[in-house]
Structure 1
Amino acid sequence: MAEKRVTSSGIEIKPVYKAEGGEVPGEFPYTRGVQPDMYRGKLWTMRQYAGFSTAEESNKRYHYLLQQGTTGLSVAFDLPTQIGYDSDHELSEGEVGKVGVAIDSLMDIEILFEGITLQNITTSMTINATASILLAMYIALAKKQGADLKQLSGTIQNDILKEYAARGTYIYPPAPSMRLITDVFAYCSTEVPKWNTISISGYHIREAGSTAVQELAFTLANGKAYLQAAQSKGLDINVFAKRLSFFFNCHNNFFEEIAKFRAARRMWAHITKGLGATDASAQKLRFHTQTGGSTLTAQQPLNNIVRVSNQAMAAVLGGTQSLHTNGYDEALSLPTEEAAKIALRTQQIIAFESGVTDTVDPLAGSYFVESLTDEIEAAAQIYIDKIDAMGGSVKAIEQDYMQREIAASAYQYQKDIESNERVLVGVNRFTEEAVHLKDVFRVDDSIRTHQVEKLKHLKAQRVKSEVVLLLEQLKVAAAGDENLMPYILRAVEAYATLGEIADVLRSVFGEY
């Protein structure tokens, strides 16, 4: 028998409320949620995003977050790691460990997760152009820990299309980049079946300045492109579509964000069904949400606690499966431990004190929310139809269509702030003389020296002839049409570096 839920006044709360003949949560088209009982059955995963400086420093933060009650890790990587350069490369200077952790080889991944059993946690890795290499390193460590790879779970972002459209950390041209992504799909579907092989990301599209409707439309259009690319490789949509997840932003307009999430599930259900998905799990849009980094202000930074709470509540009312809440100081620096803890406590208060988890889709049936959901869907569909007419997302990106639309929205938003058409509390209204936070997090430039020393030591210790042979085999495979994941995995297990592997692929694919 299900656990009984009551209000503080003793009023019993039903698991779900619906009109006669109304839509049921957990049933097609999933507007009301992907599970029939949603958070009454299982809360969302409370993730905290961390990764800075060296693997040693990030490992300390992971242990701290796990002690505070976080239920999933989320890894940020530094810029050189994202674009396939080792820490000793000349282009890495000034960037090592700055916006995430520096990972040069399997040795760094071993240090990053020291004392953490990979089979017992879920890990989300925010990495795209080098996703196949980082995933191979994670699998290699899991093997060394004796994990059952069939039980290994987590998510790799692996969404290169939004890099071309909004973010910029691509390496290779679109066609070979799409090949690497579909190679990951195919490899994981048999070897690591519980792994989410892509997190199709609207987050960065929104951070670049898009509207909520553009975020939804461009993300789903990209998702559709990945489905079609996988199908063209002969993969079964009923198998691989179950392992796709999405990553959305949650911005300030409370009801628009809730409606966006509800519309996303419904639209994706119809897109997958239209491409042949008959299995319910292949039609469901499951997503991670992060509160809006670009909404945080350096002015009056404690106001950001309220913004993050508002956004987190909207994500929960919208039915997210996983949530990351930003630190209040992130407009100034990477979050301090205190800011990360308050961000996590925000989620825990929503989960255990607010009562919003007691019933499924609490805002369903609201005239406003239902109407807004329909209007957002209709507006997003117009964009998707335009992109389809161009030949899909890859063609739309090559023609700069998405980039131009995002740029125009970003420009308009900035104009609205500067003209006071849009109020930003503490920035253009209710301002005060700046009070600077004393405790801000800074990453020391000396860590590059530390990483370079580790690389020298690694190269002296490993079997050089084995590395050379495995990199040559990878090069031959890249020039053909074999799945590259087994070759990349063997290379990382021999301690070939991320930069060496990326350079081999650059030599075959070229750079974009």
Structure 2
Amino acid sequence: MSRACSARARYRRGVVTVHSGDLEQRRGVEVWRERFEATPARSGELCSTISGVPVEPLSTPDTVVVDYERDLGYPGRFPFTRGVYPSMYRGRLWTMRQFAGFGTAAETNERFRYLLAHGQTGLSTAFDMPTLMGLDSDHPRSLGEVGREGVAVDSLDDMRRLFAGIPLGEVSTSMTINAPAAMLLAFYLCVGEEQGVPRERLRGTIQTDILKEYIAQKEYIFPPEPSMRLVTDMVEFCAAEMPLWHPISISGYHIREAGSTAAQELAFTLQDGFTYVEWALERGLDVDSFAPRLSFFFNAHIDFFEEIAKYRAARRIWATVLRDRYGAKDERSLLMRFHTQTAGVSLTWQQPLVNVARTAIEALAAVLGGTQSLHTNSYDEALALPTEDAVRLALRTQQVIAHETGVVDAIDPLGGSYHVEALTNELERQAYAYFDRIERLGGMVEAIKQNFPQREIAEASFRYQSEVEARQRLVVGVNAHTVDDEAPIPILKIDPALESEQIERVRALRARRDAAAAEAALAELRRAAAGTGNLMPPIVAAAKADVTMGEMCDALRETWGTWRETPVF
């Protein structure tokens, strides 16, 4: 038995049933094959998925092994290949959650209100680089970056402004933040309580996926082990205090944006998820007390059928491993619910309006793959943060798919397609092969320290770029169908004065707060970080004492140190 099959056997049980066609069908395939091979092939371009999986010109019952009950089943039933809910979009559409954030909290609050007024059904918050890195806006390293690629949030006061006039008891909010996720969750919790919404009624997701930061996005602060401790603290805290909140959005999106294949995105994302489960189990939590609130975040790339197959394989793997390896008994623990964002890396600054077509195709793949939530990129995002017109068109793209195409009327309409099932099986096989390799390295944390996933992604990225440069893969407007003179399009420009305003705001907060209370809260956070207790209560207390996010992160830096990875070339 191969290592890949061996890994699959450890994670999954079941006997393979081979369905063979009858003699007449075989003869028909042979006749077709002769005629196909006699036809000249299209020259130059590769006949494989964007990830390099060879594409059979014709899939048939002789080439695709499918056991319907074991591999597909029914929506809302194990193994959930066809969807996590019995009715899927016949009962409720996915959440349309456009990513938004720029400048200060006041400017982003206006964009939130604009999107809600135009039919968005959930909020998704983008933070600027200083916030992502745990730095306040007045830190020297923040210079020139405040509010540039997301909203600056330094304190509880900023969070109040960000959600002013938005009833947190009625909306679901997503926050894309990782290393300082605990601090931002504390701010949000406090704002909800100030609005009269108890923490147990707050709904939403915070990303918190620190493992993918080491693998792909590189917005980490602390070494892996204390970072994982903080993530586990959040899982434990939310299981007890915030039962409607998703404490981790296990993210493959950034892994794919870094250049991974679909199989690598699938495998590394799921392995990250298994690692979070294992840390929580070691903490003493019952798997069914937290697994139902774990969620996922995937990329919707341009290779249409491969993406659909990826989502179907992901659901099947997660349900099988949670049941068979980790002993989950609550069916909700087996449900892989995920958010999808169309691929930023597929957008081009050349002929940017063509990005409208790319985004529509990617969004359609996400819907046909059964996503629970979707963000559609704006056509101008290869140039700048999106304008209001561009983001409205991106939202309208989702609404057209939902209300005009008819794809929401049938559940998993491509299920049973020989091509889609073949791709689903192949991506699943490759994922299990990666699980086996990671297990032999000592698990995901050790694999990251040895640069295994980083190296695999770098090699995949290099292969793809080489294929584009050799014109084996054509990208419209980049290496094919180019134009010489392109008219510029309007782009969003951030007022530089907003940075100065934000710096003054955080300095004014420090000047007016109770300094003794703030210092006492920081001292308690340092003490707790040096111990073993859950860090969320002292972080919430520090937020209420107007300690800034950067000050809290500095306290943890002093206790835990920071992390520098070995470069991969």
Fold conserved (TM > 0.5)?
Answer: yes
In 1, Cα distance between the equivalents of 2:326 and 2:223? 26
Alignment of 1:286 onto 2:340: no
What is the alpha-carbon distance in structure 2 between the residues aligned to residue 425 and residue 471 of structure 1? 53
Q: Pick the aligned partner of 2:147 from 91, 97, 116.
A: 97
Residue in structure 2 matching 1:159, options 195, 199, 209: 209
Corresponding residue of 1:456: 507
Counterparts of 2:222 and 2:458, CA distance in 1? 23
Question: Which of 174, 178, 189 is the matching residue for 1:124?
Answer: 174
2: distance between equivalents of 1:20 and 1:94?
57
Secondary structure in 2 matching 1:123? strand
Corresponding position: 1:465 with 2:465 = no
Amino acid at match of 1:420: R
Give the equivalent residue in structure 1 for 2:164. 114
Q: Give the aligned partner of residue 395 of structure 2.
A: 344
Cα separation, partners in 2 of 1:362 and 1:395, compared to 1, 3 Å: same
Q: Give the equivalent residue in structure 2 for 1:385.
A: 436
Find out whether 1:303 has 2:347 as its counterpart: no
- How many residue pairs are counted as aligned between the two chains? 495
Matches within 5 A, 1:35-434: 35-273=85-323, 274-434=325-485
User: Which residue of structure 2 lines up, in the alignment, with residue 493 of structure 1?
Assistant: 544
Give the C-alpha shift of residue 19 in structure 1.
7.1
Distance 1:409 1:310 in 2: 23
| Structure 1 residue aligned with 2:55 | none
Distance in 1 separating the partners of 2:503 and 2:69: 66
Is the alpha carbon distance of 1:19 and 1:128 closer, same or farther for their aligned partners in structure 2, counting shifts above 3 Å? closer
In structure 2, how many angstroms separate the alpha carbons of the residues matched to 1:202 and 1:355? 28
Deviation sequence 1:453-508 (CA, Å, 0-9, x none): 10122112211110011110111111101100010001011111011100111111
Q: Tell me the distance in 2 between the aligned counterparts of 1:112 and 1:246.
A: 25
- SS of match in other structure, 1:119: coil
Offset of residue 438 of structure 1: 3.1
What secondary structure, in the 3-state scheme, does the structure 2 residue paired with 1:245 have?
strand
Within 1, Cα distance between the matches of 2:126 and 2:382? Answer: 16
TM-score using structure 2 length: 0.86
Name the counterpart of 2:16.
none
Give the whole-Å Cα distance in 1 for the aligned partners of 2:190 and 2:176.
Answer: 18
Equivalent-residue separation in structure 1 for 2:306 and 2:485 (angstroms): 31
TM-superposed CA distance for 1:20, in Å, is 8.7
What do the CA deviations read for 1:9-39 (whole angstroms, capped 9, x no partner)?
xxxxxxxxx9799611111110000001100
Cα distance in structure 1, aligned partners of 2:92 and 2:530: 46
| C-alpha distance in 1 between matches for 2:348 and 2:136 | 33
- How far has the Cα of 1:94 moved from its partner? 1.1
Tell me by how many angstroms 1:148 deviates. 2.6
Distance 1:434 1:236 in 2: 61
1:378 to 1:495, Cα distance in 2 relative to 1, 3 A: same
Q: Which residue of 1 aligns with 2:22?
A: none
5+ residue gaps, structure 2, are: 1-66, 564-569
Q: Which amino acid aligns with 1:225?
A: T
Change (3 A) 1:400 1:19: closer
Q: Distance in 1 between matches of 2:238 and 2:460?
A: 37
Q: Deviations over 1:391-432 (max 9, x none)?
A: 111011000000000001111111111110101011101110
Which residue of structure 2 aligns with residue 14 of structure 1? none
Stretch moving more, 44-53 or 452-461: 452-461
Distance 1:112 1:353 in 2: 34
Q: Does the aligned pair in 2 maintain the 1:299–1:434 contact within 8 Å?
A: no
Report the Cα offset of residue 434 of structure 1.
3.8
Q: Does the aligned pair in 2 maintain the 1:470–1:490 contact within 8 Å?
A: yes
Give the AA of the match of 1:82: L
Q: Is the 8 A contact 1:137 1:492 kept in 2?
A: yes
Which one-letter code corresponds to 1:169 in the other structure? Answer: E
Which amino acid counterpart does residue 452 of structure 2 have in structure 1?
Answer: Y
Residue 442 of structure 1 aligns to which amino acid in structure 2?
K
Mapped to 1, the partners of 2:507 and 2:412 lie a distance apart of 55
Tell me the SS of whatever aligns to 1:355. Answer: coil
State the shift of 1:445 in Å. Answer: 2.6
Shift of 1:367: 1.1
**Residue 28 (1) aligns with residue 81 (2):** no
Q: Give aligned-pair identity as a percent.
A: 55
Alignment of 1:477-488 (within 5 A): 477-488=528-539
Give 1:164 deviation, angstroms: 0.4
2:380 is aligned with what amino acid? D
* Cα distance in structure 1, aligned partners of 2:506 and 2:339: 34
Q: How far off is 1:387 after superposition? A: 0.6
Corresponding residue number in structure 1 for 2:14: none
State whether residues 85 and 92 of structure 1, in contact with CA within 8 Å, keep that contact through their aligned partners in structure 2: yes
Q: What is the CA–CA distance in structure 2 between the aligned matches of 1:437 and 1:371, rounded to whole Å?
A: 43
Q: Distance in 1 between matches of 2:92 and 2:441?
A: 41
Which one has the largest radius of gyration? 2
Distance 2:288 2:507 in 1: 46
Q: Distance in 2 between matches of 1:382 and 1:446?
A: 52
* Partner-residue secondary structure (3-state), 1:332: coil
Distance in 2 between the 1:20 and 1:419 partners?
Answer: 44
SS of the residue aligned with 1:155?
strand
Q: Using the alignment, how far apart are the partners of 2:542 and 2:155 within structure 1?
A: 10
Q: What amino acid maps onto 2:300 in structure 1?
A: C
Distance 1:474 1:220 in 2: 32
* Residue identity opposite 1:279 in structure 2: D
Shift of 1:446: 2.4
Structure 2 partner of 1:5: none
What SS does the corresponding residue of 1:120 show, helix, strand or coil? coil
CA distance in 2, matches of 1:431, 1:262: 35
Structure 2 counterpart of 1:441, one-letter code:
L
Contact 1:301 1:328 in 2 (8 A): yes
